[in-house]
Chains A and B, each alone.
Chain A
Amino acid sequence: FQTPTPPSVSVIRLPRGPDGTSRGFDPNSPRYQALSPISISTMGCGNEADLEREQQARVALRERYLRSLFAMVGHTIHFTMYERVNVSAFFDASDIDILNFQVSDLQTPLGVHREALLRCSDIISYTFEL
């Protein structure tokens, strides 16, 4: 027996934040600064050869990750979020810092969102099949 497709739901807009211009998310707020990961982790001071090796490692690791993101486009991805929430959607794009994923046809228990932005800080893991 097939479950009927859940109806589309409209996106609920958050009220404007205290500064009057944002929608509840301010990248300059102390909370975000504390929660967002520092994007470059490095050994700091080290000799040139070590720093070069570290940079080579960073390049190799990052290239593979970017290629894995390319491979995801257009596929259905299953996201395991916090609080035992599981959703699935088509992957469209990621931002450069891997803080948000743009997805479409997000299937949630409340309905289907045609376009959505998932915060990576809300996701524990995601999986897909090739």
Chain B
Amino acid sequence: MSEWQRKSPLEWQTYVNKEVKVTAAEKHEYKGWVLTIDPVSANVVLVKLMEDGKVCVSVILGHAVQKVEIVNEGDDEMKEQLVHLFMPEESKAYGHEELEKRKSSLKTWLETNHIPVTEQGESQRTLCVAGVLTIDPPYGPEDCSSSNEIILSRVQSLIQGHLATQL
């Protein structure tokens, strides 16, 4: 096990969000911003933000790392960008009134399309369609749950159509 692999998680964490130069086996060198260091393998994940908005990710395997030098301490802006990289899209926060409006609007739309829908759950937040599909707040296509694929896809496209008319 190399020296790099023997470091502790707290030591590895000191490199995160900083720009480093990594020297690896067979004289390979890499430079980039440290997104993370895997505590299991000590793999170093470096990120380079390109001008065209693309992101180039290079990962050096922990066992191949010979030297890691910090070349730039980085700033809060960089840190913010790295925090959101690879994270799933965060759901927007809707206010209580807004959610009620969305729920009623969707319920009316479904009823207009002759689809039986009821409200259930604590505080009646969940819509239940035909007893086999539920829709949770914020009532988007991704918020549907059902074990029936056909009904799921039909209701999802209905909701998508409905949301499109709302904009």
* A interface with B by C-beta (< 8 Å): 37-43, 53-55, 57-58, 60-62, 64-65, 67-68, 70-71, 80, 82, 84, 96-98, 120-121, 123-130
Contacts and interface: CB of A to CB of B under 8 A. Distances in A.
B92 interface: no
A57 B12 contact: yes
Interface stretch (B52-60, B70-78, B109-117, B118-126): B52-60
Contacts of B57: 68, 71, 127-130
Interface of B: 1, 5-10, 12-13, 16, 24-26, 28, 30, 35-43, 45, 54-64, 86-87
Given A61-B37, A64-B35, A68-B45, A125 B54 contact: no
A83 to B, nearest CB: 8
B64 A124 contact: yes
B43 A58 contact: no
Nearest to B64: A124
A39 to B, nearest CB: 5
A60 B17 CA distance: 13
Contacts of A38: 1
B59 A125 contact: yes
Nearest to B38: A65
Chain B at the A interface: mostly helix, strand, loop or mixed? mixed
B43 A98 contact: yes
A41 B65 CA distance: 16
20 contacts: A37-B41, A37-B42, A37-B63, A38-B1, A41-B7, A42-B8, A42-B9, A53-B10, A55-B9, A57-B10, A60-B36, A61-B9, A65-B36, A67-B87, A98-B41, A124-B60, A125-B28, A128-B56, A129-B55, A130-B55
A97 B41 contact: yes
A79 B45 CA distance: 14
B59 A41 contact: no
Contact of A124 (B5, B28, B36, B45): B28
Contacts of A42: 8-9
B86 A67 contact: yes
A56 to B, nearest CB: 9
A117 to B, nearest CB: 16
Contacts of A80: 28
A113 B26 CA distance: 26
Given A62-B40, A98-B41, A54 B10 contact: yes
B32 to A, nearest CB: 10
B9 A58 contact: yes
Given A37-B41, A65-B40, 10 more contacts: A41-B6, A60-B13, A64-B45, A68-B86, A71-B57, A71-B86, A80-B28, A125-B60, A126-B59, A127-B56
